[in-house]
Amino acid sequence: MIKPTAFEQHQRILQKYLPAEFVDNVVDLILKHPLEFSIVRPRSTKLGDFRYGPGLKRPKITINGNLNSYSFLITTIHELAHYFAHLEYGGRIKAHGKEWQLTYQKLIYPTIESGHLPKDIEDALLKSLVNVKASSCTDLNLMRVLRSYDVNTNEVLYLEDIAENTHFEINGKWFSKGKLRRKRYLCYELSTRKNYLVSAMAEVKLKDDE
């Protein structure tokens, strides 16, 4: 029996998460670099992340495994841009500074121009590039368009959908929703009374009596 190559192994896994037209390109980007890429359990506060430094044998990207295929693709490109910006400019750059912005643009434009994205996602991506710093995981319009492709969207409740002063839960902690500050809501944790800025598109759960 012929053992599958690393490319075929990654291809087999990622075809479950990515639009078919983009699988080979993403696998190619991952395998050409000393990078760990992991699909993880859903996190309420982030869709993906990029980490490097002490304690890690090599830089690591993690992506939430519950994302629809287009959200998974855009989040992966967002995090790959962090990795490539780190490679080119070093570890002291700002997370979404000009170095990351330039890198993200280089990675996302071929995706937009491929002709394989739905028109509404293509338009939302182009609009998001007007302000590249807010692109992908923090652009609310883009996030709304991407999440319209989720399955069972009626079962998901976002922070922007609930009324001010409503109590909600994220990751086992309970908060009260406050006022909108640009793209995040100022909320306080009920047990500690500490204030936190929470994304308008954060998935939340309500108390049973609300």
pLDDT in tens, 166-193: 999 998 899 999 999 877 899 999 999 9
Give the number of domains in the chain: 2
What's the pLDDT tens digit per position in 87-139? 999 988 998 899 999 999 999 999 999 999 999 999 999 998 887 755 556 68
Q: 142 and 163 share a domain?
A: no
Q: 21 and 52 share a domain?
A: yes
> Hey, how many other C-beta atoms are within 10 angstroms of the C-beta on 181?
10
Q: 74 and 90 share a domain?
A: yes
Q: 195 and 117 share a domain?
A: no
Q: Find the domain containing 19 and state its range.
A: 6-154
- Asked if residues 81 and 74 have their Cβ atoms less than 8 Å apart, the reply is no
Query: Of 111, 130, 154, which residue constitutes the final position of a domain?
Result: 154
42 found inside a domain: yes
Q: How far is CA 28 from CA 9, 16, 41, 80, in A?
A: 12, 16, 24, 12
Q: pTM for this one? A: 0.84
Residues 144-148, mean pLDDT to the nearest whole number: 90
191 found inside a domain: yes
1 found inside a domain: no
What integer pLDDT is reported at residue 138 of this predicted model? 67
